[in-house]
């Protein structure tokens, strides 16, 4: 009788280990990739229990034969059947308990946006739960992020997980058309003050996301503060730089800080090129769009409240 119990327990344990054990996860993936039959066997707890019970019964028969106590013709099939069915029943009960426990925990969780009870479709992000992608996107779109979480002490922008497509990319011609419309768009040139003085889109204001110094570009930790002074969260903003890289970072920072209508200018003022110099996107200047030079009155970084030049 002890052998029956041992066979059932060992079959149940091996079935669970083969199907769920992390130590054999790689083996399961490999086996599934080389044989569809093996993959189906691993997915079927009923089948797997049978074959493991059969194998253990054969092993037990070999051991018993060496001990001069062979398994009888009736005893052998009983070992297989009891090991198979007993192991399957045990694993089914364990799976059910795990599911009940998980379900209880899930039902205690609610969507951070709409308070909907937890379901299989929930997403977990940063300790919060969201019932749909739309709720997750709404959270990202509506939450303002504090400045100290957007920039390092050195002033470098920290990439954020933001609402997908929350800012849009537009060409220079489209940016010009929007500025000429009555929709109330404003152009923020995020290049350095020197670049702005040497030429910028007509009507643009200058708030650098980085300052140019002798050793290169230095991040501007006051970028968002100056934007905050001069613009509201729902203002229609177009951001551009020389070729599109800095303005993309600026757009991400603005969205993460809570600005809701932001467009990034592909190609910027000077156009975007690949490593071979081939033009990928023509810029504002190359398209012959209106350009201003010098320090436009009331629209320089200093005039907008910035305290550093470069």
Q: Rounded CA gap, 13 and 159, in Å? A: 46
Closest alpha carbon to 107 in 89, 94, 123, 119: 119
The verdict on whether 47 is a catalytic residue reads: no
**Active-site residue (options: 111, 131, 135, 241):** 241
Alpha-carbon torsion 98, 103, 109, 111, what sign? Answer: positive
Active site residues: 241
């Amino acid at each position: 009788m002890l052998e029956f119990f041992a066979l059932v327990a060992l079959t149940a344990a091996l079935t669970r280990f083969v199907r769920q054990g992390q130590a054999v996860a790689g083996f399961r993936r490999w086996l599934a990739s080389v044989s569809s039959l093996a993959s189906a066997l691993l997915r079927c707890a009923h089948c797997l229990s049978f074959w493991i019970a059969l194998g253990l019964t054969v092993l037990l028969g070999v051991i018993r034969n060496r001990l001069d106590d062979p398994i009888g013709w009736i005893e052998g099939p009983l070992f297989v059947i009891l090991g198979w069915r007993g192991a399957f029943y045990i694993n089914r009960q364990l799976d059910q308990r795990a599911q009940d426990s998980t379900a209880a925990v899930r039902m205690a969780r609610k969507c951070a946006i709409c308070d909907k009870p937890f379901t299989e479709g929930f997403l977990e992000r940063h300790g919060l739960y969201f019932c749909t992608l739309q709720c997750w996107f709404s959270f990202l779109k509506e939450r303002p992020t504090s400045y100290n979480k957007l920039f390092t002490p050195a002033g470098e922008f920290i990439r954020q997980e933001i609402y997908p497509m929350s800012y849009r990319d537009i060409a220079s011609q489209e940016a010009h058309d929007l500025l000429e419309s009555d929709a109330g768009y404003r152009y923020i040139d995020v290049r350095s003050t020197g670049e702005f003085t040497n030429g910028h889109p007509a009507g643009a204001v200058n708030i650098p996301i980085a300052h140019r110094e002798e050793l290169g570009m230095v991040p501007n930790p006051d970028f968002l503060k100056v934007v905050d002074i001069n613009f509201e969260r729902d203002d229609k903003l177009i951001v551009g730089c020389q070729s599109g890289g800095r303005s993309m970072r600026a757009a991400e920072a603005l969205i993460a800080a809570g600005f809701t209508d932001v467009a990034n200018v592909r190609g910027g003022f000077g156009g975007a090129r690949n490593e071979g110099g081939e033009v990928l996107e023509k810029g504002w200047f190359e398209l012959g769009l209106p350009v201003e030079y010098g320090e436009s009155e009331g629209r320089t970084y200093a005039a907008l409240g910035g305290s550093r030049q470069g």
